[in-house]
Structure 1
Amino acid sequence: MTTKPVLLVDGSSYLYRAFHAMYKVDLRNAQGFPTGAIRGVVAMLKRLEKDYPESPVAVIFDAKGKTFRDDMYSDYKANRPPMPDDLRLQVEPLHTIIRAMGLPLIVIEGVEADDVIGTYARQATEKGLDVVVSTGDKDMAQLVNNKVTLVNTMTETTMDIPGVEEKFGIPPELIIDYLALMGDKVDNIPGVPGVGEKTALALLQNLGGLDSIYSRLEEIADLAFRGSKKMAAKLEENKDNAYLSYRLATIKTDVALEQAIDELKHQPADNEVLLKWFTELDFKGWLDELEGEPAAVAEAGPAIETHYQTVLEEAAFNAWLEKLKTAELIAFDTETTSLNYMEAEIVGVSFSINPGEAVYVPVAHDYLGAPEQLSREFVLNALKPLLENPELKKVGQNLKYDANVLANYAIQLKGIAFDTMLESYIFNSISNRHDMDTLAETYLNHKTIHFEDVAGKGAKQLTFNQIQLEEAGPYAAEDADITLRLHEKLWPQLAEQSGPKNVFETIEVPLVPILSKIERNGALLNIKSLAQQSHEHGETMERLQREAYDLAGEEFNLSSPKQLGAILFEKLNLPVIKKTPKGAASTAEEVLQELALDYPLPKLLMEYRGLSKLKSTYTDKLPQMVNPRTGRVHTSYHQAVAATGRLSSSDPNLQNIPIKTEAGRRVRQAFIAPEGYKILAADYSQIELRIMAHLSGDQGLKKAFAEGLDVHKATAAEVFGMELETVTVDQRRSAKAINFGLIYGMSAFGLAKQLHIGRNDAQQYIDTYFDRYPGVAEYMDRIRASAAEKGYVETLMGRRLYLPQINARNGQHRQAAERTAINAPMQGTAADIIKRAMIDVDAWLEKENVDAQMIMQVHDELVLEVAEAQVEDVSKTLCERMAKAVELSVPLLVEAGIGDNWDEAH
């Protein structure tokens, strides 16, 4: 018999606790899938495995559906809100990961996890075994005895018999009585009205358990607590509730179990499954732990013998130069001093033209004792004709960065034929990571040398010029070699798919040099204006803070949910719209938005929060991001992030600058044109609705767009049964919410909330909409069926979005995938259209030698700097070219504006 304690893990308790602990952080993978609860529970399990090695273990979760307690009391847990969607999505992946870890996972219908744990605990103690119950649930304290201990890994606390007495003031055998008297709001256990914690303790400590209390009611009046004289009558009146509560709170210890306590075995881990899920969920640290473990992630074929060379001599370099001139395809990479392309200096370059063979040419390693290297000027001058030769095909991993760095040395990289990051992204955009290390493990079953392996980590991390050539050479050469090998693995698979191949060749690769150019163009900022805005926002925030204090009648921390909740809901008695998982009144943004419609303090707080975010994110930060050499701010555009194909931007993120508030528009006013130029902004009008009209073929929508009608007014006229000219502003706003809501899969509940109407009225709007636009309803049915059959949806140009949950048995997962199936073709097609427009506009600007340059792309909008003398002509031609980027069955409408700053032009 083992001397190790049996470990029983309350998975359901930790699932909720982990979710809400991570809620404020909102952890998600690159595709936006929530991961916080999974991360929290897996971390807790790993901690327990470390703390209790070799212990028999079981992880127990609640089953779906009702339990015997619902039969006992129909209102049991009736007040509990439904599981949040972001949490529900994480349950099945978490169960899969736990099983893959080799841990027994127990789910038994008709009872709760507590009852299964209680039964296992009884079985174990009957066999003389010690038990550790890992939980955060206070109800479990009733199980504690001389063989059963509770441990909470999240708070790092352990609770034995003295621990229960210290925490609750009573021994474990009175915990059920304690819960019966107090009741439980979360589980909707009624208890005895008026009995709180202090009263319950006074009764239990002086009179004993429930049976004893009811046999000694006459003694209650003598106890020294408030209301004791009336308590006996209250207890008598609620005796049935008290005993019902006792039964509801009692953990069963006789559940029929498929596996007995001595059958719980820790199985070997399934590393292949863990690798798949840790990769998909972006759990890099745990991926690293799996390194070296047997896991067949790819048919990599036989190991390739490598020959890596570091070139220091001119003769060897010239020999490689001759090889490059006649190569069919060159894998190319730069090593630099910085990830900031505007500041990066080239330290060396690497090439590969045959798998397993690569060269690194260092030019600027300057650590103490570094050997003499070929000069950067000599190497780049020799390479310039090759790098600028459009006929000499190149492949790289994120070549846009290399193109930007080369531009610092007046080299315009041409001949970009392939990019392994983009190949991976187009092949499967929902795959979380498209970096070289991940791709090498996924497709080549090869662990690369990581940058941290040669440069170190944290504050002491070296820049590449400080790394010794003995380490830098193999690392840099491997980058080029792996790039070539990845291309040879990915491209044949991608080329078999005509749609994705078309997107790769005609949209994504041609866009690389254009995005590089836009990034390097940058945008001019009025730094003084931003400084003035920051100053004014600071003053306004101080005023708002004082006004908030006046409204509250006291000073408080405007950023503290706890203090804010006390002011709003306890002192001012505002209605509680939503509660946190712990039962406290929520002060989340959506709650404040709703309260702000009727109450001054929430309205003021919303204004304060908005200004605080605007100040910290933009007006304070943007001036610090201006490049001192160009006087401009240079964002980075990312092609391989959004699953639908939309571009994203960072450092700074230009796509989140608010446009609906005056303060947000002032930030846009700081994006200015240089002297002699104007800002020209052109964007597609209602492009996703037009794409819906084209994809669905709905005659009503097509007619509205063909006739140039205001489509939202037209929808309002149809839905509300009225003439077009009589539609009010509010009715148009409601119709706009319907138009956009439905293509994003909005339910009647969501529409009702947005329009502040009843759910039945919202459903009636939706039903009427589909009656008037039957083609839309038919399209939605058609695309759901097609997605379920194929497992993916496509844009007009052939971009694919895979939907792994489209046939999931879990209804929530399936419905989420169906909503994506409806919307993704529209979002993706809109992304493809503006990318094609950018390619065409760039070619036109180059060919006609127009005095204009693209400086930003934001959502469905292109922003240019144009010479004043040409701005009218450029505006007209730009709109025409954008409108012809693709031919739809309805006209594409492009609207342009001209101004001295971005806000004026928008």
Structure 2
Amino acid sequence: MTLTHKPVGPGSHIFLVDGSSFVFRAYFQSIRQDAKYNYRSDRLPTGAVRLFCTKLLQFVREGAAGVKPTHLAIIFDKSEHSFRKDLYPDYKAHRTEPPDDLIPQFPLMRAVVRAFGLTPIEQDVYEADDLIATYATQAQAKGADVLIVSADKDLMQLVGPGVRMYDPASGTAGTKGAREERLIGEAEVIDYFGVPPDKVVDVQALAGDSTDNVPGAKGIGVKTAAQLINEYGDLEKLLAQASGIKQPKRREALTEPDAVARILLSKKLCELVRDAPLQTPLEELGLHQPDAAKLIAFLQAMEFTTITRRVAEMYGVQAQDIEPDPRFLGVAGWRGRNGELSEIAPPASEAPRGIEKPTSDALIPANLVATRLAEAKAVKIDRSTYETVVSAERLDDWITEAVGAGLVAINVETTLPDPMRCELIGVSLATAPGRACYIPLQHRSGDSADLFSGANLVEGQIPLDVALARLKPLFEDASILKIAHNMKHDLLVLSRYGIDVAPIDDAMLMSYALDSGRGDHRLEELARNYCGHEALTFASVAGAGRNFLGFARAALTAAAEYAAERADISLRLWRVLKPRLLAERMTAVYETLERPMVATLARMERRGVTVERATLSRLSGEFAQDMARLEAEIFELAGESFNLSSPKQLGDILFGKMGLPGAKKTATGAWSTSASVLEDLAVAGNDFSRRILDWRQLSKLKSTYADALPGYINAETGRVHTSYALAATTTGRLSSSEPNLQNIPVRNEAGRKIRKAFVSAPGHVLISADYSQIELRLLAHIADIPQLRRAFAENLDIHAMTASEMFNVPIKDMPPETRRRAKAINFGIIYGISAFGLANQLSIPREEASAYIKRYFERFPGIRDYMDSTRKTVREKGEVSTIFGRIYHFPGISSANASDRAFYERAAINAPIQGAAADIIRRAMIRMDDALARAGLSAQMLLQVHDELVFEAPNDEAEATIEVARRVMEQAPAPAVHLAVPLKVDARAAANWDEAH
């Protein structure tokens, strides 16, 4: 996940990771493990880097202590010199040099952070602890929750309301030096120091610290210091009244002038700075999804096979298609303890595969694709030719030029990535390759706290209202094509200023339609592949980390080059990709499944959905109570209390104390307590593991939704506006983020409670329209299964019918368990379930599961034929397609690794089915708004969640809206495809999402 601007307030979860101490923790943990994992093949030490990566991935993916971060900072000591050295030259003087194997890993740790799309936080003068203290203080003042990830006792002085510490587990259970994870609150601080957090510094001033060479008072340790502070109240009162202490040695240690001076100096050394001048503002630590390709490229270079696989699965990326980052191959060395790595320039870009031999087509001139590609590389990008437009007259000239060209590439620049919260800064136009301009509108100078207060406008810009009044006719002119890369963002921003952009083309979606599965569709990557050009990055213009300015305050010349270049590149990409669509017969996919989704999703995102704060607040309390009840039950069953968030402690209870079957060890040697392990135990009837699973789910729902969703309510609209990503998955499914509304559980009561918080506006209802068993229906059509087709045509219970076919049991006498097994097989077969997987799911012997699968294929031979045919196709062509012509590429199918090939074969079998389902709901969404309007209905489509659409309609339009939605969804495949089985849509209206589903 990358860092970006995200406001901080109640509901925000700030993770502050003490990177400097984490480096050493990771190193000493690594040397306790198998040495073969601690070096790359060229003997570069990487063990600490590997563990650092693993833990950082955990923070990004799962969070910690039952909380997922909204903001994340990895904070390092920049150098050994700080203001404390000036106060006391012997500060930390006794520290030993780091181990030789750790020294080359210091710069790699920072590279890890950058690979995750984050910025390593470090500053001169101040130590990491001071930066942590300052961030924590600021976040606490804004009402956010803070989790300080560290075991450093010096940070315990920061613990307080809304601020906790988290000490991650390290080492292998039972080995020397291993440590269990733990949460540190006020009680734990008192247990360690004997005083509450606000008195920790007083105790440290007296006791000193041999590790940091803080002198303290002679002869007084932590225990004695705590007694004295508790007795006298604080250090100042103690020193003022020390002459009355009866014990001579204590009295002398606290009254002798030099001793008092040492104590007061010690307090200055121990007390953390809480108002350091931060170079990276707290709000700039917001967390978003990382660039998976860049992260995997780094992990590949480090040879971290397991982590690479996890990341690839997590983000749906095919790691085999991504080359190792060349900057980290053959690392040339390091410069100093925190030195930067020597970087090796990446290889020259090559043209994307598969376009050298375009398919001939009567609609396009011969060799047009090759000609356009050659032109894209030959006509070099020269930023110095771009114009900065600062007068209405020159803007009119550019508009006239665009009208004459009949097309214009556009790009908008804003204050924030979120199109529903941002302000427009400028617009760029391109009318031909190399012919581009930038129109600055709201660039600022100086350091005004309120960027859009009206102060500090850079002189010479066209007034915003004047420029938009001139651009509006151009952008809305039906005779002029508007081109962009990721047009949805630009369209949404401009719609908020009263401009409805149309018609459009989107270079990103063209690339996606042509090359799904082949690689990255970002503008920078496409520019590299097609134009042989390294585009300017946002950070190079707006700054990053401590040097972040924001685009509005960036130097106008650099801002103009960046913005105009993006319009120029978008136009160049369009010229290359448009003929490829024709040559490769993908025009229909782009024009019917991709391009129309831009406006459809933009409308949905702008509408948003109402979420009740009060309901979420109440649910947060309920979940907390339920978690507390479950904790009590779990502790009673265990016969002792333990840390539920500690896999190590839980594993010891399950497999050590209780001696339950199914024990597995993780890579660290600890017992695995993953969800699959606990689910296996629960299916076998173990109440203890079932309660653990329930507790975990409640904890996730509380932090991810009940506590976090209020922070996403837009102050202007009062609604939550999720963002749908196009070109994000291999199969065409949409993904949702900020917030992710597609992962709310629907099959359990707690998840349904979250959906209750999604409500209709007054006088309205929410309507949920959901495809019933769409993937099984598509399997029946694609694989031509007569029994399944008949069952769906006759509206039979498909799972009971399958069970009847397999087990020769009449449907009317069907035992529930037999139907359940058939259901598991029906859905499992689609996803290529193995005998082992089915055995685990049904809690039956592997041999029995294997027999079920064999019998299934005997009863439904068409499914086996489909699978075999698809395997053959993907092996021969490296691709498969849906019934609507969408093509999925699987370059990894040629891997030398048998397990990788098997993975891609399973993905290829599933892709035509899941992809067709995604295409069908896209077709329905594209038609829906017009269908509702033609029916005279004011209902609006708000959300898409997998196979479900959610609408908001006036009370008196509910039934009519359901009728239209059901008709459009059930008829979505036609006329392109006539399915051999009917589609069925279940629809219902209610006051909230749960009751409507």
TM-score by length of 1: 0.70
SS in 1 for 2:661: coil
1:518 counterpart = 2:604: yes
Question: Equivalent residues in 2 for 1:456-467 (5 A)?
Answer: 456-458=543-545, 460-467=547-554
In structure 2, relative to structure 1, the CA distance for the partners of 1:281 and 1:588 (3 Å cut) is: farther
Q: Aligned match of 1:552 in 621, 638, 642?
A: 638
Alpha-carbon offset, residue 904 of structure 1: 0.8
Alpha-carbon offset, residue 670 of structure 1: 0.8
In structure 2, relative to structure 1, the CA distance for the partners of 1:48 and 1:386 (3 Å cut) is: farther
1:295 counterpart = 2:348: yes
Question: Equivalent residues in 2 for 1:111-130 (5 A)?
Answer: none
- Give the letter for the 1:280 counterpart: I
1:750 counterpart = 2:828: no
1:291 & 1:494 partners in 2: Cα distance? 36
Alpha-carbon offset, residue 808 of structure 1: 3.5
Alpha-carbon offset, residue 780 of structure 1: 1.1
Does the aligned pair in 2 maintain the 1:278–1:286 contact within 8 Å? no
**Residue of structure 2 in register with 1:332 after alignment:** 410
| Stretch deviating more after TM superposition (438-447 or 632-641) | 438-447
**Residue of structure 1 in register with 2:944 after alignment:** 857
Q: Aligned match of 2:990 in 894, 899, 903?
A: 899
1:362 counterpart = 2:440: yes
SS in 1 for 2:409: strand
2:890 & 2:461 partners in 1: Cα distance? 51
Alpha-carbon offset, residue 435 of structure 1: 1.5
Question: Equivalent residues in 2 for 1:256-267 (5 A)?
Answer: none
Alpha-carbon offset, residue 11 of structure 1: 4.2
**Residue of structure 1 in register with 2:912 after alignment:** 825
- Give the letter for the 1:535 counterpart: G
1:485 & 1:899 partners in 2: Cα distance? 49
Does the aligned pair in 1 maintain the 2:424–2:442 contact within 8 Å? yes
What is the CA deviation profile of residues 393-439 of structure 1, one whole-angstrom value per residue up to 9, with x for unaligned ones? 111011101111111111111111x2111112122122342221121
In structure 2, relative to structure 1, the CA distance for the partners of 1:861 and 1:277 (3 Å cut) is: closer
**Residue of structure 1 in register with 2:483 after alignment:** 395
SS in 2 for 1:352: strand
In structure 2, relative to structure 1, the CA distance for the partners of 1:855 and 1:285 (3 Å cut) is: farther
Question: Equivalent residues in 2 for 1:429-578 (5 A)?
Answer: 429-458=516-545, 460-498=547-585, 500-578=586-664
Alpha-carbon offset, residue 277 of structure 1: 7.7
Alpha-carbon offset, residue 459 of structure 1: 5.3
In structure 2, relative to structure 1, the CA distance for the partners of 1:23 and 1:337 (3 Å cut) is: closer
SS in 2 for 1:633: coil
Alpha-carbon offset, residue 807 of structure 1: 3.8
In structure 2, relative to structure 1, the CA distance for the partners of 1:323 and 1:847 (3 Å cut) is: farther
2:547 & 2:48 partners in 1: Cα distance? 36
Does the aligned pair in 1 maintain the 2:488–2:598 contact within 8 Å? yes
SS in 2 for 1:805: helix
- Give the letter for the 2:945 counterpart: V
- Give the letter for the 1:358 counterpart: A
Alpha-carbon offset, residue 571 of structure 1: 2.8
In structure 2, relative to structure 1, the CA distance for the partners of 1:461 and 1:283 (3 Å cut) is: farther
- Give the letter for the 1:329 counterpart: L
SS in 2 for 1:835: helix
Alpha-carbon offset, residue 636 of structure 1: 0.2
**Residue of structure 2 in register with 1:5 after alignment:** none
**Residue of structure 1 in register with 2:399 after alignment:** 321
Alpha-carbon offset, residue 25 of structure 1: 5.7
What is the CA deviation profile of residues 197-248 of structure 1, one whole-angstrom value per residue up to 9, with x for unaligned ones? xxxxxxxxxxxxxxxxxxxxxxxxxxxxxxxxxxxxxxxxxxxxxxxxxxxx
1:29 & 1:553 partners in 2: Cα distance? 34
Does the aligned pair in 1 maintain the 2:349–2:529 contact within 8 Å? no
1:49 & 1:601 partners in 2: Cα distance? 42
1:871 counterpart = 2:958: yes
In structure 2, relative to structure 1, the CA distance for the partners of 1:17 and 1:723 (3 Å cut) is: farther
Does the aligned pair in 1 maintain the 2:722–2:741 contact within 8 Å? yes
Does the aligned pair in 2 maintain the 1:278–1:284 contact within 8 Å? no
What is the CA deviation profile of residues 332-356 of structure 1, one whole-angstrom value per residue up to 9, with x for unaligned ones? 0001111111111111100001101
- Give the letter for the 1:313 counterpart: S
2:786 & 2:651 partners in 1: Cα distance? 51
Question: Equivalent residues in 2 for 1:37-436 (5 A)?
Answer: 51=104, 280=322, 292-298=345-351, 301-304=377-380, 306=382, 307-368=385-446, 370-416=458-504, 418-436=505-523
In structure 2, relative to structure 1, the CA distance for the partners of 1:22 and 1:734 (3 Å cut) is: farther
**Residue of structure 1 in register with 2:32 after alignment:** none
2:546 & 2:700 partners in 1: Cα distance? 28
What is the CA deviation profile of residues 53-78 of structure 1, one whole-angstrom value per residue up to 9, with x for unaligned ones? xxxxxxxxxxxxxxxxxxxxxxxxxx
**Residue of structure 2 in register with 1:241 after alignment:** none
2:940 & 2:55 partners in 1: Cα distance? 41
SS in 1 for 2:697: helix
- Give the letter for the 1:295 counterpart: A
Alpha-carbon offset, residue 26 of structure 1: 5.5
Does the aligned pair in 2 maintain the 1:704–1:710 contact within 8 Å? yes
**Residue of structure 1 in register with 2:280 after alignment:** none
**Residue of structure 1 in register with 2:203 after alignment:** none
**Residue of structure 1 in register with 2:864 after alignment:** 777
SS in 1 for 2:518: coil
**Residue of structure 1 in register with 2:672 after alignment:** 586
Which stretches in structure 1 are left out of the alignment for 5+ residues?
Answer: 1-7, 31-46, 53-154, 158-165, 168-269
| Stretch deviating more after TM superposition (8-17 or 397-406) | 8-17
1:403 & 1:385 partners in 2: Cα distance? 14
Identical columns (%)? 42
What is the CA deviation profile of residues 356-385 of structure 1, one whole-angstrom value per residue up to 9, with x for unaligned ones? 110000010121472221001001011111
**Residue of structure 1 in register with 2:686 after alignment:** 599
2:496 & 2:943 partners in 1: Cα distance? 20
SS in 2 for 1:806: helix
Does the aligned pair in 2 maintain the 1:29–1:432 contact within 8 Å? no
What CA RMSD, in Å, does the superposition of the two structures yield over aligned residues?
3.2
Which stretches in structure 2 are left out of the alignment for 5+ residues?
Answer: 1-37, 62-99, 106-168, 178-296, 303-317, 330-340, 352-373, 447-455
Alpha-carbon offset, residue 580 of structure 1: 1.4
Does the aligned pair in 2 maintain the 1:646–1:831 contact within 8 Å? yes
Alpha-carbon offset, residue 316 of structure 1: 1.2
Does the aligned pair in 1 maintain the 2:931–2:964 contact within 8 Å? no
Does the aligned pair in 1 maintain the 2:634–2:688 contact within 8 Å? yes
Alpha-carbon offset, residue 809 of structure 1: 3.8
Question: Equivalent residues in 2 for 1:759-798 (5 A)?
Answer: 759-798=846-885
Does the aligned pair in 2 maintain the 1:530–1:619 contact within 8 Å? yes
SS in 1 for 2:378: coil
SS in 2 for 1:798: coil
Does the aligned pair in 2 maintain the 1:282–1:433 contact within 8 Å? no
- Give the letter for the 1:322 counterpart: T
In structure 2, relative to structure 1, the CA distance for the partners of 1:739 and 1:361 (3 Å cut) is: same
What is the CA deviation profile of residues 469-502 of structure 1, one whole-angstrom value per residue up to 9, with x for unaligned ones? 121111111111111111122222232121x321
Does the aligned pair in 2 maintain the 1:282–1:432 contact within 8 Å? no
Alpha-carbon offset, residue 724 of structure 1: 1.6
1:460 & 1:558 partners in 2: Cα distance? 41
What is the CA deviation profile of residues 169-206 of structure 1, one whole-angstrom value per residue up to 9, with x for unaligned ones? xxxxxxxxxxxxxxxxxxxxxxxxxxxxxxxxxxxxxx
SS in 2 for 1:753: helix
2:50 & 2:882 partners in 1: Cα distance? 35
Question: Equivalent residues in 2 for 1:797-812 (5 A)?
Answer: 797-812=884-899
- Give the letter for the 1:354 counterpart: A
- Give the letter for the 1:519 counterpart: E
In structure 2, relative to structure 1, the CA distance for the partners of 1:635 and 1:562 (3 Å cut) is: same
Alpha-carbon offset, residue 547 of structure 1: 3.0
